[in-house]
């Protein structure tokens, strides 16, 4: 069974400066923490207090759950910590970042041939 998030409860963990939430995989419960830095990456400009972090979590719940599922799939642990690196690609995609190599990162790493000036684009074979 895939990881799901039927419990919408979340709370602010002040010592960790993180929001804690839970996921379920069949009969297993997994505890997740999403750090303040991670939340700042997905919602720049948020307030840096309990209400700000919980608001950022609520506004980005689907994205956070997707990142949590990815981290969870990397191996079973007692708890899972989502930090800013777990959201790095998401932030770049949201900003439409062009890595400077002429490709747009919205292509998710696909190698898309570029045409030279005066030539037709090459076709990719699948």
pLDDT 10s digits, 74-122: 877 878 999 888 876 555 555 555 444 444 433 333 333 334 444 444 4
Q: How many CB atoms are closer than 10 A to CB 106? A: 12
Question: CATH topology for 10-99?
Answer: Double Stranded RNA Binding Domain (3.30.160)
All structural domains of the chain with their residue ranges: 10-99
C-alpha–C-alpha distance, residues 33 and 83, integer Å: 8
At 35-75, the pLDDT tens digits run 999 999 889 999 999 999 999 999 999 999 988 988 888 87
The pairing of beta strand 79-82 with beta strand 28-35: parallel
């Amino acid at each position: 069974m895939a990881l799901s998030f039927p419990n919408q409860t979340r709370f602010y963990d002040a010592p960790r400066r993180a929001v804690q939430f839970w996921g379920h995989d069949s009969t297993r419960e997994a505890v997740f923490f999403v750090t303040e830095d991670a939340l700042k990456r997905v919602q720049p400009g948020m307030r840096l207090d309990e209400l700000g972090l919980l608001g950022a979590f609520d506004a980005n719940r689907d994205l956070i759950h997707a990142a949590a599922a990815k981290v969870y799939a990397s191996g079973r642990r007692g708890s899972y910590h989502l930090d800013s690196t777990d959201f790095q690609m998401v932030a770049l995609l949201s900003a439409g970042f062009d890595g400077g190599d002429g490709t747009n990162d919205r292509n998710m790493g696909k190698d898309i041939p570029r045409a030279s000036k005066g030539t037709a684009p090459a076709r990719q074979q699948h």
